[in-house]
Each structure stands twice: as structure tokens, then as C-alpha cells.
């Protein structure tokens, strides 16, 4: 693994632009993003896809592994018409770009498409394993969409309101609505450019962050009620954790996506630097979300347990009973 602090070099930018411009008329460009797409993965991919369509001349497909239904918050994003199901994805594209993907495993069954004649990895994870041909990876970028905006600028694609809506959703998702530490003056300048196209921020915020079925409100109540605070864990910095089971989802008649927002209600615990939510995906399999307020590098813990992410927001797939997964995290934290 290569931890790099600087963004793409001028050579890397030039190679990416040349590779995109080299796709012949009618050529096939495949866009991919990570499994269970979030706003940054999907927004970066579709925003770039729309930009590519504006350039014209190429065929464009967009896809993510698994192909499950998107959460309602991400329904109807501009560019959604580019999405195809995994089984419809071309087996022999001319060019592949992947967005917000730190390692090939996050592409699931679509990872083999990275063996296309040319592949470009567009990402902002410090833990990126550089698994493609050309790499536009900027660990200093608040979202993958920041890198996409740089690429569209270099391709001479002007922002319009549809491209901007995709990139804005990506940016607000990964900056936690401009609250997280990567929220630099440059991020606000990018946001200003996006808003200037006519994007409606209040409407997006309500749809993406502030909409939840009533059953999910009650489910959160039950799951938060069983949270555990361990003040001495993480070398005395404190750990707070909870878990949500498939049975919980059934009881409240909810879909798994509603659990993605749960970590935000747990991580506000002032007594703990580290927060953790286990979301059951099968009998002994858990999607684990971890957050830190700054005292702990949770990406180190996630990588050690087979996952990845950022210093203050990371995750992995936990195997076993919930107490065993928590014990593995506790051990890595100490
Ligand atoms: P989440 O808690 O799902 O919002 O994810 C937080 C961060 O951790 C994101 O940047 C993800 O890319 C990363 N992440 C989450 N789950 C995994 C996983 N199973 N493998 C690798 N990275 C992950
Ligand atoms: Mn992501
Ligand atoms: Mn991201």
C-alpha cells in the first residue's frame, strides 16, 4: 500500500486526459463505483458520465457491483439513465474509469473490467492500492468529486446544473455538509462554482440527509437504546458502539440502507473518541462503520481487519458474532 499525501502529478493528469480523448468515435467507456454506493461514489461517477456525454462521440455505461436498488436519497440523480445492471456491463470496454474505489475488492464481481486496455482510478482514499493503469488519487481531496471537477476542467467540459447537482451531492456527503476536517477554503470555492449553476442546496439536503421513514425513526430509537459506552477503551479515549440486526430491520419493516445514517447519531457521544456501528448483513456477517473525532486513526484499524477508509471514517466486513467483532476492534484500538 502506498500512502501518498500529494495529489495527481501533471503527468498523471495529462495521461488521463489523453486516454479519454483517445477513445475512438463510438468507443465504449465504462464507469464504475464502489459496492453500496454513497453520494460521493454515485455522484462522482454520474457527474463525470454526464460530462463525457457533453463531449459526445462515445458510448457510456455506469454501474456498481451488486446492482441492488439505490437508497431513495440517491434516486433520480441526474445521469441515472447511464446506469446498467451488473449483468449488462460490457465485457470488453475500451476504457474503464472507477470512482471512490480504494481497492479492487470494492468493485466485487466487476473488478475484472479493470483489465480493459486502459483504466483510470479516480479516488481520494489515502489507502488506495493503485490497482489501475492511470491513477488520479488525491488523499487531500475532501471527496472524489473534487478530483472529478479537476478532470472535467482539464477536458474542457463546462459545468451545468445537472453535472453540478451530482458533484454537489458527492461533496456534501463526504464533507458531512461542510463540517468535517477536509472542509478547506478550496472546498467552499468548488461548492460556490457548483451552486452558481443553479443547484438547490436545501432541496438536496432534505432529500439526502433529512428524510427517513417513520419506521426507521423508531428503529433508530431501539438501536440507540442498546448503545454501549466503554470509557477506558482505545487507550482511554473511549469507544461507543451499537449494532443493528436483520431482525431489527424486519421488526420495523425497514430496508438496510436506512442504517447508513445510524453512525451519525452514535458518533456525537462526547465521552468517546471512537464510535462504531455493526450492521448485520447475514447470520455472521456485519458491515462495520467506524468514526474517530481525531485521537485515533480508524483506517488503520479497518485495514488491519480487512477493510479500508479514511483516518477519521473507515469500515470493514466483520465476521462472527457481534461481541467477537467488537472484541477484534477493541484489540486493534488498544
Ligand atoms: P461507511 O462507514 O460505510 O460510511 O464508510 C466509511 C469509509 O470507510 C468509506 O470511505 C469507505 O470507503 C470505507 N469502507 C467502508 N466499508 C469498507 C469495506 N468493507 N472495505 C473497505 N473500505 C470500506
Ligand atoms: Mn464512498
Ligand atoms: Mn469518497
pLDDT in tens for each of the 334 residues of the chain?
A: 344 568 999 999 999 999 999 999 999 999 999 999 999 999 999 999 999 999 999 999 999 999 888 999 999 899 999 999 999 999 999 999 999 999 999 999 999 999 999 999 999 999 999 999 999 999 999 999 999 999 999 999 999 999 999 999 999 999 999 999 899 999 999 999 999 999 999 999 999 999 999 999 999 999 999 999 999 999 999 999 999 999 999 999 999 999 999 999 999 999 999 999 999 999 999 999 999 999 999 999 999 999 999 999 999 999 999 999 999 999 999 8
- In a 3-state reduction of DSSP, which class is residue 41? helix
Q: Which atom of ligand 1 approaches the CA of 314 most closely?
A: 8
**Which residues neighbour ligand 3 (ion) by CB within 5 Å?**
40, 100, 144, 174
pLDDT of residue 187: 97
* Closest protein CA for atom 4 of ligand 1: 289
Q: Which residues touch 151 (CB under 8 Å, ≥6 apart)? A: 13, 16, 17, 48, 122, 136
- Report pLDDT for 2: 42
Distance 144 CA to ligand 3 centre (A): 5
Ligand 2 centroid to residue 232 C-alpha, Å: 31
Distance from Cα 315 to the centre of ligand 1, integer Å = 4
Amino acid at each position: 500500500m502506498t500512502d501518498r499525501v500529494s495529489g495527481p502529478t501533471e503527468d498523471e493528469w495529462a495521461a488521463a486526459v489523453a486516454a479519454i480523448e483517445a477513445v475512438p468515435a463510438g468507443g465504449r467507456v465504462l464507469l464504475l463505483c464502489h459496492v453500496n454506493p454513497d453520494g460521493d461514489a454515485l455522484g462522482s461517477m454520474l457527474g463525470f458520465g454526464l460530462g463525457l456525454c457533453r463531449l459526445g462521440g462515445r458510448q457510456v455505461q455506469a454501474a456498481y457491483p451488486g446492482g441492488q436498488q439505490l437508497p431513495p436519497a440517491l434516486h433520480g440523480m441526474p445521469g441515472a439513465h447511464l446506469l446498467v445492471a451488473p449483468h449488462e456491463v460490457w465485457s470488453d470496454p475500451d476504457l474503464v474509469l472507477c470512482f471512490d474505489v480504494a481497492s479492487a475488492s470494492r468493485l466485487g464481481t466487476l473488478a475484472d473490467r479493470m483489465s480493459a486496455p486502459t483504466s483510470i482510478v479516480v479516488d481520494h482514499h489515502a489507502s488506495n492500492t493503485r490497482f489501475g493503469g492511470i491513477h488520479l488519487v488525491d488523499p487531500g481531496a475532501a471527496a472524489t468529486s473534487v478530483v472529478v471537477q479537476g478532470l472535467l476542467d482539464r477536458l474542457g467540459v463546462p459545468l451545468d446544473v445537472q453535472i453540478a447537482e451530482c458533484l454537489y451531492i458527492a461533496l456534501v456527503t463526504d464533507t458531512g455538509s461542510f463540517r468535517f476536517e477536509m472542509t478547506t477554503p478550496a472546498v467552499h470555492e468548488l461548492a460556490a462554482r457548483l451552486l452558481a449553476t443553479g443547484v438547490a442546496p436545501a432541496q438536496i439536503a432534505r432529500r439526502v440527509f433529512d428524510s427517513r421513514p417513520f419506521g426507521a425513526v423508531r428503529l433508530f430509537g431501539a438501536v440507540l437504546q442498546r448503545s454501549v459506552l466503554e470509557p477506558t477503551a482505545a487507550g482511554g479515549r473511549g469507544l461507543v458502539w451499537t449494532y443493528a440486526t436483520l431482525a431489527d430491520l424486519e421488526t420495523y419493516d425497514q430496508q438496510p440502507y436506512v442504517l447508513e445514517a445510524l453512525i451519525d447519531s452514535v458518533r456525537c457521544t462526547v465521552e468517546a473518541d471512537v464510535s462504531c456501528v455493526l450492521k448485520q448483513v447475514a447470520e455472521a456477517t456485519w458491515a462495520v462503520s467506524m468514526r474517530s473525532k481525531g485521537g485515533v486513526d480508524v483506517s488503520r484499524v479497518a485495514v488491519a481487519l480487512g477493510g479500508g477508509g479514511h483516518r477519521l471514517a473507515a469500515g470493514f466486513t466483520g465476521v462472527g458474532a457481534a461481541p467477537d467483532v467488537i472484541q477484534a476492534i477493541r484489540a486493534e484500538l488498544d
